Amino acid sequence: MAQNSQEWQEETLRVDQTDLHIVKGGSGRPLLVLHDEMGHPGWLKWHSAMAREHSLIIPLHPGFGRTLAPEWIRSIRDVAGLYSLLLRQQKLAPVDVIGFSLGGWIAAEMAAANPDQFRRIVLVAPCGIKPERGEIRDIFQMMAPDQLRSSVLDYENTPEFNSLFGGIGPEQFELWEDARAQTARLAWQPYLHNPSLGHLLEIVDTPTLLIWGKQDSIVPLNAGEIYQRSIPGSRLVTFDQCGHRPEIEKLTDFLRETQNFLA
């Protein structure tokens, strides 16, 4: 995580006997950022842009990176509960949140349990809901670098792709495998979704923005359409020629939509 290290710092917070490692940066209204199933990707251009008006709070999920997983955390809903404790302990609620893929699912579970803990919600290609057309990709049928490459439509021509996770080396491989193992523990059965989530989201009256790449090969766009139907008043924005990482594939469009929504 060496990118632009002068813009962020790390700290550890004790939450329910769990040492949560947290990356923080920026100033302004707090913004909770929940990373995807591969871990925190490093400090990217979108982080720098958002940090001009927001204080970014990026916890490393339990079992990902340096945050150890307590024995009681056995599902995505458990992770959501831990983060709700974090918000209460730090007196952050109602807070803005942006969640990516697995992190979007965590944010959705938090909202379904207690929508009042959020002011505004941004979900970027979240898993958590089973699509009616297509399938959530089986990421465990490929190696981590292949999973990373498949997360964008055209990795050779995607700005910042080579900046993700600070490069591929032995240490990064180990972090990826830890992340993939923990993802399997939390979300293997049923695979990367919760059958009850769509029903529970009907109570969410918090303004919600959904962002999806039309060519997402990890979580099909149809899942986003179901999310939109499930969350009253939510808005679904799609980007053409874009895969699972609109924050780097369509940076300008991504920032326009998120900054306007959170303003």
Torsion of CA 222, 201, 237, 87, to 10 degrees: -130
pLDDT at 1 > cutoff 50:
no
pLDDT, tens digit (0-9, with 9 covering 90-100), for 204-225? 999 999 999 999 999 999 999 9
Identify whether the C-beta of residue 128 lies closer than 8 Å to the C-beta of residue 79. Answer: no
- Which amino acid is present at 66? R
pLDDT at 23 > cutoff 60:
yes
In the chain, the percentage of residues whose pLDDT exceeds 90 is 92
DSSP state of 143: -
pLDDT at 139 > cutoff 60:
yes
Which residue would you say has higher pLDDT here, 54 or 170? Answer: 54
Contacts of 139 (CB under 8 A, 6+ apart): 37, 147, 180, 183, 218
Q: Which domains does the chain have, with CATH numbers?
A: 5-262 (3.40.50.1820)
pLDDT at 3 > cutoff 80:
no
Quick one: pLDDT at residue 10? Answer: 95
Q: How confident is the model at residue 4 (pLDDT cuts 50, 70, 90)?
A: low
Q: How confident is the model at residue 166 (pLDDT cuts 50, 70, 90)?
A: confident
Quick one: pLDDT at residue 168? Answer: 78
**Burial group, residue 118, by CB count within 10 angstroms (0-12, 13-18, 19+):** buried
Identify whether the C-beta of residue 27 lies closer than 8 Å to the C-beta of residue 55. Answer: yes
pLDDT, tens digit (0-9, with 9 covering 90-100), for 38-48? 999 999 999 99
pLDDT at 79 > cutoff 60:
yes
Contacts of 104 (CB under 8 A, 6+ apart): 34, 123, 124, 125, 126, 127, 128
pLDDT at 7 > cutoff 70:
yes
Quick one: pLDDT at residue 183? Answer: 97
How large is the average pLDDT for residues 137-161? Answer: 96
pLDDT at 2 > cutoff 60:
no
How large is the average pLDDT for residues 144-154? Answer: 96
Hey, CA dihedral for 53, 46, 250, 192, is it positive or negative?
A: negative
In the chain, the percentage of residues whose pLDDT exceeds 70 is 98
